[in-house]
């Protein structure tokens, strides 16, 4: 390889088979205490329902399990290893104190049905986080119940529908900009609303004229991500809200990019009626390889009667409790109260930051994105010159001339020690490179990233094949996804 | 701020490089009238030691040190230490969804193993990478059956977890999916005659739970026969995963929607937990959620990728099988490690201990109240009907740092003074004896359920 990769060096890592391939009868990693009650005859108690055999479940020892998963872990990239510039995903540092406090005995082992008088600690956490998120968003009320962003979207749209029904007309459709996340249209469909596409203008923002002409009494809401997926703040936000409100529609804000706004501006102040937050983005709870998330939904007063049940209330004696009797509620969206463990982490994050820390966090996130934009402008095509907030979207237009596409550049970035950026999204930018550094990156890491991206652009000019064949340094090369989908192998089976 | 890796000089240098004088210029796109010119009204920055103190205090106010007999969809089982050792590795904890397969093989292979073990335990052919929890998994499994059959109504067992039923009702409301319910008989199992009467040619599926909300194991084979006879699918919800160690899985089901919290996931006041859907291979393209598949790289080496993504929202948008994106990956890893630790023999032994403790407790309780639903096998929960209101019993127990069974009046008024008790391998004989000692031994005066219903009706 021609170019020196400064951030990463190859090193040996261990091979490891599937756990089933290590199993053999008689090995065990468990030990139960002696039974202190009489033994039972399962056959007698369960009859036909007794299970005799657990099939191919593994039998391995503890050290093998430790090595197995530790070896697997070394095959992953992670925030703890370096920058994760995934646009829209907000891969920021996950503070370890959050993990520690989530494991404190009474918090980790609280049963959701334990009596309220011995749940005051958990209830206070729910109450405090709710109040702080309301203050941060400038909204009036909140539910913490949804388990993830998409689940929050569904909950939000259920409340939108309930609101319109209470006004005598449930309405028929949701307007969704062409730059939106795929979850937005998928959610609208789950709540039985038709989806109508709204195109962006030359600045990458909502086209006001188009909105004006498409807005009518059939439109229940506009689902808007702000800043949008181009990392652009919708400057006409108040006009957008006015157009919707004039015809009785609601403004739904997808809060996926709330990390660009915290402490600087509040959606509740610029006309948003309902929004969800992703605690695993803005509020630092770990992504964990794809979850768990948490998707609280904050709303304006007029939607409050429709919140999912239960809600936390302060009772007459000053203690906290759950209120279930809410006749206008949209119902429950999940058993129990939501991903409580994520609330603990998010609250610890807000506590560690305070008002000044949260503001500085937002400022650094926006500063980092603009620093990258400046560093790569000219090297990569910037389809929208509109000012950048927390993420910047380039396109592969210049590199495509050499037959190199965004996915190839992304894969080559792996050899330089970085996780790829988000590829091919938003859909309005053909060949998009969507880059979000977050506030967690020091200047040195950003400089290395810019250098890596420039180096790849040079490779595209001089030796595009090296980029097309990337990655070169990983334990597996590009995988055959077509074969995986055509003839799916979704589980291990013993060879015989 | 200690999480931010920049010095004032760094910030200055970066602003200079961009060609700006102040950070405020970066926020110029936000109309001035909306910009926040004050501090957010939240408490000042706290030191790490203060944060730890805050949550220790909350912990003390939250049932720390109590012995509990609560189950009802959230179970207290032992969590092997290595679960937290392994999931705390930054490469698992702080990784993203494994879309970039070349640098995500650790997560991908572990999910592939998870899917395999869920298949082995449930008797199904395919399992997904996880859903939010058991309640949403059940609702999504029902939607799946609606798509597969082209039929629109659903029969739901009343013995399904009441909160799962509420979640399903929410999901179904705007999909024009009418829900009808099938009651339970004296043995706590689905009333088969009533079930048969409830099924119509428009029934997409029957949804039951086994072991059901009362801990009773359903006659899944008989339910499946009735459902299938009418061209409906059978969806079975499993809320207590440990039961799979000793209870025959509902192999006759078409879709299984599971809550795997019992497998190494802390109670955590209700979440995060780990839902999962398992089904037959032929239905996989209507399955919601992520799936990992095995494939090869350019050099023929085995590797794993997220696959069949054309079902999902980021490809199919409004035509996707679900809007689910983020799932419960790290919790699924806990479940995976738990299943690996106990394995083929340990899971069975673990389940047997649950069975033994529960059998002992139920036997002891029979002198202090009426054990309902004795006619059918149960796993680790049982329902006791007492003369005294269980809430009164529980408040007495609470004084002894014991949390009694869940009073059922709120969900099943017809059962009168009934409570759902749960024992796991962690419930000691001493705890059972202590709790029972505090329940009055006056079983002879227990009235029948029928009288109770009349009382409630009045």
DSSP B35: B
The reported pLDDT for the residue numbered B440 is 83
Model ipTM over 0.95: yes
Q: In this structure, are A262 and A184 located in the same domain?
A: yes
Task: Report the alpha-carbon distance of residue B141 to residue A169 in Å, rounded.
Answer: 30
Give residue A309's pLDDT band: very low, low, confident or very high (50, 70, 90).
Answer: very high
Q: Which of A491, A492, A494, A495 to mutate to test the interface with B (most CBs of B within 10 A)?
A: A491
Task: Report the alpha-carbon distance of residue A458 to residue A379 in Å, rounded.
Answer: 9
B188 interfaces chain A, CB cutoff of 8 Å:
no
Q: Which of A88, A113, A440 to mutate to test the interface with B (most CBs of B within 10 A)?
A: A113
CATH code for the domain in which residue A318 is found: 3.40.640.10
B330, closest residue in chain A (CA to CA): A288
Taking a contact as any Cβ pair under 8 Å apart, which residues of chain B between 50 and 89 contact chain A? 50-52, 54-66, 68, 70, 72-74, 76, 80, 82, 84-89
| Tokens matching residue A213 | 């002409």
A289 interfaces chain B, CB cutoff of 8 Å:
yes
Q: In this structure, are A297 and A388 located in the same domain?
A: no
Quickly tell me which residue has 């261990």 as its tokens: A14
> Which residues from A are below 8 Å from B95, CB to CB?
76-79, 287-289
Is A215 part of any domain?
yes
Q: In this structure, are A373 and A343 located in the same domain?
A: no
CB contact under 8 A, A76 and B247: no
A336, closest residue in chain B (CA to CA): B270
> Which residues from A are below 8 Å from B381, CB to CB?
none
* Residue A65, CA distances (Å) to A12, A58, A437 in order: 20, 11, 35
CB contact under 8 A, A182 and B169: no
Q: In this structure, are A286 and A430 located in the same domain?
A: no
Nearest to A354 among B42, B48, B345 (CB): B42
- Among the candidates A350, A381, A403, a domain finishes at A350
> Which residues from B are below 8 Å from A474, CB to CB?
102-103
Nearest to A49 among B327, B333, B377 (CB): B377
A229 interfaces chain B, CB cutoff of 8 Å:
no
- Minimal C-alpha gap between B442 and chain A (Å): 24
B21 interfaces chain A, CB cutoff of 8 Å:
no
Is A33 part of any domain?
no
Q: In this structure, are A336 and A367 located in the same domain?
A: no
Q: Which of B7, B21, B22, B40 to mutate to test the interface with A (most CBs of A within 10 A)?
A: B40
Taking a contact as any Cβ pair under 8 Å apart, which residues of chain B between 145 and 164 contact chain A? 161, 163-164
Nearest to B68 among A91, A114, A410 (CB): A114
- Minimal C-alpha gap between B425 and chain A (Å): 9
> Which residues from B are below 8 Å from A439, CB to CB?
3-4
Q: In this structure, are A297 and A392 located in the same domain?
A: no
CB contact under 8 A, A361 and B1: yes
Is A171 part of any domain?
yes
A214 interfaces chain B, CB cutoff of 8 Å:
no
> Domain limits of chain B?
67-74+344-457, 81-338
A269 interfaces chain B, CB cutoff of 8 Å:
yes
CB contact under 8 A, B295 and A114: no
The contacts of residue A33 (CB under 8 Å, 6+ apart) are none
- Minimal C-alpha gap between A441 and chain B (Å): 7
What residue numbers bound the domain in which A210 lies? 98-350
- Among the candidates A313, A329, A350, a domain finishes at A350
CB contact under 8 A, A354 and B43: yes
Using the predicted structure, report yes or no on whether residue A172 has a pLDDT greater than 80.
yes
* Residue B200, CA distances (Å) to A453, B151, B197 in order: 62, 10, 8
B117 interfaces chain A, CB cutoff of 8 Å:
yes
The reported pLDDT for the residue numbered B425 is 98
State the CATH class of domain B67-74+344-457.
alpha beta
CB contact under 8 A, A264 and B30: yes
Is B180 in contact with B210 (CB distance < 8 Å)? no
Is A27 part of any domain?
no
Is A460 part of any domain?
yes
**Residue B109: cis peptide before it, omega within 30 degrees of 0:** no
CB contact under 8 A, A183 and B325: yes
- Minimal C-alpha gap between A458 and chain B (Å): 22
B39 interfaces chain A, CB cutoff of 8 Å:
yes
pLDDT in tens, A399-424: 999 999 999 999 999 999 999 999 98
Task: Give the lowest-confidence range in A373-377, A446-450, B318-322, B419-423.
Answer: B318-322
Taking a contact as any Cβ pair under 8 Å apart, which residues of chain B between 209 and 268 contact chain A? 217, 244-249, 266-268
Q: Which of B31, B38, B43, B55 to mutate to test the interface with A (most CBs of A within 10 A)?
A: B55
Strand-pair partners of B30? none
Taking a contact as any Cβ pair under 8 Å apart, which residues of chain A between 24 and 63 contact chain B? 28-30, 32, 35-40, 42, 45-51, 54-60, 62
Q: Say how many CB pairs under 8 Å bridge A and B.
A: 683
In chain A, how many domains are there? 2
Is A487 part of any domain?
no
The predicted model scores a pTM of 0.96
A424 interfaces chain B, CB cutoff of 8 Å:
no
- Among the candidates A324, A350, A376, a domain finishes at A350
CATH fold for domain B81-338: 3.40.640
Is A371 part of any domain?
yes
Q: Which residue has the higher pLDDT, B313 or A177?
A: A177
CB contact under 8 A, A340 and B56: no
Q: In this structure, are A371 and A455 located in the same domain?
A: yes
- Minimal C-alpha gap between B453 and chain A (Å): 22
A464 interfaces chain B, CB cutoff of 8 Å:
no
The phi-psi region of residue B73 (left if phi > 0; otherwise alpha if psi is between -120 and 50; otherwise beta) is: left
Task: Report the alpha-carbon distance of residue A416 to residue A456 in Å, rounded.
Answer: 9
User: Which residues, given as ranges, of chain B have pLDDT below 50?
Assistant: 443-458
Is B439 in contact with B369 (CB distance < 8 Å)? yes
Is A152 in contact with A298 (CB distance < 8 Å)? no
The reported pLDDT for the residue numbered B446 is 44
- Helix, strand, or coil (residue B387): coil
The reported pLDDT for the residue numbered B322 is 85
B403, closest residue in chain A (CA to CA): A114
Is A5 part of any domain?
no
A308, closest residue in chain B (CA to CA): B170
Pairing of strands B67-68, A432-435: unpaired
The reported pLDDT for the residue numbered A80 is 97
CB contact under 8 A, A292 and B161: no
Annotate A364-417 with DSSP letters as a single string.
HHHHHHHHHHHHHBTTBB-S--SPPSS-EEEESHHHHTTT--HHHHHHHHHHTT
B300 interfaces chain A, CB cutoff of 8 Å:
no
Nearest partner of B55 among A400, A254, A124, A166, judged by Cα: A124
CB contact under 8 A, A112 and B13: no
A90 interfaces chain B, CB cutoff of 8 Å:
no
Q: In this structure, are A263 and A375 located in the same domain?
A: no
Give percent above pLDDT 70 in chain A: 99
SS (H, E, C) A141-158: EEECCCCCHHHHHHHHHH
Using the predicted structure, report yes or no on whether residue A389 has a pLDDT greater than 90.
yes
> Which sign does the torsion angle of CA B183, B184, B185, B186 carry?
negative
B5, closest residue in chain A (CA to CA): A442
Q: In this structure, are A330 and A399 located in the same domain?
A: no
Q: In this structure, are A292 and A180 located in the same domain?
A: yes
Q: In this structure, are A219 and A336 located in the same domain?
A: yes
Q: In this structure, are A161 and A298 located in the same domain?
A: yes
> Which residues from B are below 8 Å from A256, CB to CB?
none
């Amino acid at each position: 390889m021609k170019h020196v990769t400064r951030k990463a060096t190859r090193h040996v890592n261990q091979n490891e088979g599937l756990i089933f391939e290590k199993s053999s009868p008689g090995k065990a990693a468990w030990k139960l205490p002696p039974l202190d009650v009489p033994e039972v005859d399962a056959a007698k108690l369960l009859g036909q329902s007794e299970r005799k055999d657990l099939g191919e479940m593994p039998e391995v020892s503890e050290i093998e399990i430790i090595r197995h998963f530790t070896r697997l872990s070394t095959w992953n990239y992670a925030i703890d290893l370096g920058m994760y510039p995934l646009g829209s995903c907000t891969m920021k540092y996950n503070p370890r104190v959050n993990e520690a406090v989530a494991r404190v005995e009474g918090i980790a082992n609280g049963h959701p049905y334990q009596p309220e008088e011995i749940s005051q600690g958990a209830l206070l956490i729910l109450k405090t986080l709710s109040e702080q998120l309301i203050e941060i968003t400038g909204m009036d009320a909140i539910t913490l119940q949804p388990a993830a962003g998409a689940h929050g979207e569904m909950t939000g749209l259920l409340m939108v529908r309930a609101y319109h029904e209470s006004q005598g007309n449930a309405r028929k459709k949701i307007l969704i900009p062409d730059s939106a996340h795929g979850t937005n249209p998928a959610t609208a469909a789950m709540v039985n609303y038709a989806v109508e596409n709204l195109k962006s203008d030359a600045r990458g923002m909502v086209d006001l004229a188009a909105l004006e002409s498409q807005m009518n009494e059939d439109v229940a809401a506009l689902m808007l991500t702000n800043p949008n997926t181009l990392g652009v703040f919708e400057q006409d936000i108040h006009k957008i809200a006015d157009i919707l409100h004039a015809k009785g529609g609601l403004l739904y804000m997808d809060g996926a990019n709330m990390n660009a706004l915290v402490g600087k501006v509040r959606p509740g102040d610029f006309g948003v009626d309902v929004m969800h937050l992703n605690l695993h983005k803005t509020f630092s709870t770990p992504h964990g390889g794809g979850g768990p998330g948490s998707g609280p939904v904050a709303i304006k007063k007029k939607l409050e009667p429709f919140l999912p049940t239960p809600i936390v209330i302060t009772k007459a004696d000053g203690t906290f409790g759950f209120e279930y009797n809410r006749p206008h509620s949209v119902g429950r969206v999940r058993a129990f109260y939501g991903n409580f463990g994520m609330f603990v982490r998010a609250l610890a994050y807000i506590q560690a930051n305070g008002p000044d820390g949260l503001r500085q966090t937002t400022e650094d996130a926006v500063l980092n994105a603009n620093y990258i934009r400046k560093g790569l402008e000219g090297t990569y095509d910037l389809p929208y010159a509109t000012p950048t907030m927390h993420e910047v979207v380039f396109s592969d237009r210049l590199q495509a001339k050499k037959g190199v596409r965004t996915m190839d550049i992304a894969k080559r970035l792996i050899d330089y020690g970085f996780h790829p950026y988000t590829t091919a999204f938003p859909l309005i930018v053909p060949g998009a490179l969507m880059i979000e550094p977050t506030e967690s990156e020091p200047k040195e890491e950003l400089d290395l990233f810019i250098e890596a991206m420039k180096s790849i652009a040079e490779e595209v000019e001089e030796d595009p094949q090296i980029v097309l064949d990337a990655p070169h340094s990983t334990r597996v090369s590009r995988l055959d996804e077509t074969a995986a989908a055509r003839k799916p192998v979704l589980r291990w089976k013993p060879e015989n | 701020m200690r999480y931010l890796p920049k010095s004032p000089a760094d910030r200055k240098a970066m602003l200079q490089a961009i060609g700006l004088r102040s950070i405020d210029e970066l926020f110029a796109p936000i109309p001035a009238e909306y910009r926040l010119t004050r501090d957010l009204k939240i408490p000042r920055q706290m030191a790490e030691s203060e944060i730890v103190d805050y949550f220790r205090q909350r912990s003390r106010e939250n049932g720390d040190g109590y012995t509990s007999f609560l189950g009802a969809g959230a179970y207290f089982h032992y969590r092997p230490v290595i679960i937290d050792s392994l999931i705390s590795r930054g490469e698992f904890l702080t990784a993203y969804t494994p879309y970039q397969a070349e640098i995500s093989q650790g997560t991908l292979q572990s999910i592939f193993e998870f899917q395999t073990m869920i298949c082995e335990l449930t008797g199904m052919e395919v399992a997904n990478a996880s859903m939010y929890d058991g309640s949403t998994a059940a609702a999504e499994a029902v939607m799946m059956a609606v798509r597969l059959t082209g039929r629109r109504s659903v029969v739901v067992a009343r013995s399904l977890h009441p909160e799962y039923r509420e979640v399903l009702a929410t999901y179904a409301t705007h999909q024009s999916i009418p829900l009808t319910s099938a009651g339970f008989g004296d043995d706590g199992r689905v009333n088969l005659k009533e079930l048969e009467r409830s099924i119509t040619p428009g029934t997409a599926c029957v949804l039951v739970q086994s072991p059901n909300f009362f801990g009773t194991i359903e006659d899944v084979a008989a339910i499946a026969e009735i459902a299938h006879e009418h061209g409906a699918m059978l969806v079975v919800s499993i809320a207590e995963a440990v039961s799979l160690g000793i209870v025959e899985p509902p192999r006759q089901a078409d879709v299984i929607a599971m809550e795997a919290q019992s497998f190494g996931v802390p109670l955590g006041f209700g979440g995060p937990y780990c839902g999962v859907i398992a089904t037959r291979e032929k239905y996989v393209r209507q399955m919601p959620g992520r799936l990992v598949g095995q494939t090869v790289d350019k050099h023929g080496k085995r590797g794993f990728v997220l696959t069949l993504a054309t079902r999902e929202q980021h490809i199919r948008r409004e035509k996707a099988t679900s809007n689910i994106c983020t799932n419960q990956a790290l919790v699924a890893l806990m479940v995976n490690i738990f299943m690996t630790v106990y394995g083929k023999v340990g899971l069975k032994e673990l389940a047997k201990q649950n069975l033994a403790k529960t059998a002992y407790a139920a036997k002891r309780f029979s002198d202090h109240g009426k054990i309902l639903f004795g006619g059918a096998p149960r796993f680790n929960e049982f329902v006791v009907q007492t003369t005294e209101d269980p809430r009164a019993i529980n408040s007495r127990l609470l004084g002894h740092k014991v949390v009694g069974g869940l009073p059922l009046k709120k969900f099943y008024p017809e059962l009168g003074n009934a409570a759902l008790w749960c024992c796991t391998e962690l419930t000691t004989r001493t705890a059972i004896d202590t709790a029972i000692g505090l329940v009055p031994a006056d079983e002879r005066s227990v009235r029948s359920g029928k009288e109770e219903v009349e009382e409630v009706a009045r």
